[in-house]
Amino acid sequence: MLHDATKALARGKSFAALTTLFEDGSPQTNLMWVDADDDHVLINTEVHRQKYRNLTRDPRVTVAIFDPVNPYHYVEVRGRVVGEVRGEQARAHIDQLSTKYTGGPYAMPITSERVIVKIAPERERSQ
């Protein structure tokens, strides 16, 4: 189960920095919209993205979620990708995220299948 601080920030209008690993072990960090269920941090992306290719090859990730009102308040979640959701549920989820962050449906072109990535925490830390 995620800590309450993680759920609160992830379910709010906070941005997250998602770090994945390239094949050579070097990191890649992307600024992302974020969400959470009770047990997982949720990231929605497209299957053709480098971050998705990285995390399917190596499921270890770090997600730092920043409070938009006070960026010195944040949570860091180190964990592993333990599952994914595709199809209509993933497509509907990106519209939900877009509404949360922009006030309306997702307006960017979708060039490949959407996927919700489920990240299980191994370590959570908050400031």
Q: In whole angstroms, what is the distance from residue 78 CA to residue 10 CA?
A: 14
**Which pLDDT tens digit goes with each residue over 97-107?**
999 999 999 98
Are the C-beta atoms of 60 and 21 separated by less than 8 Å? yes
Number of domains composing the chain: 1
Q: In whole angstroms, what is the distance from residue 93 CA to residue 14 CA?
A: 16
Tokens 């994945």 found at: 20
H or E element: which one contains 78? strand 74-86
Q: Which amino acid is at 1?
A: M
Q: Residue range 34-39: average pLDDT?
A: 98
Tell me, rounded to whole angstroms, the distance of Cα 50 from its chain centroid. 14
> Which pLDDT score, from 0 to 100, does residue 109 have?
84
Beta-carbon contacts of residue 6 (< 8 Å; ≥ 6 apart): 36, 41, 65, 75, 77, 121, 124, 126
CATH for 118: 2.30.110.10
Q: Residue 109 carries which DSSP code?
A: P
Q: Is 103 helix (H, G, I), strand (E, B) or coil?
A: coil
H or E element: which one contains 65? strand 60-66
Q: Which domain holds residue 29?
A: 4-126
**Which pLDDT tens digit goes with each residue over 67-77?**
999 989 999 99
Report if pTM > 0.75.
Answer: yes
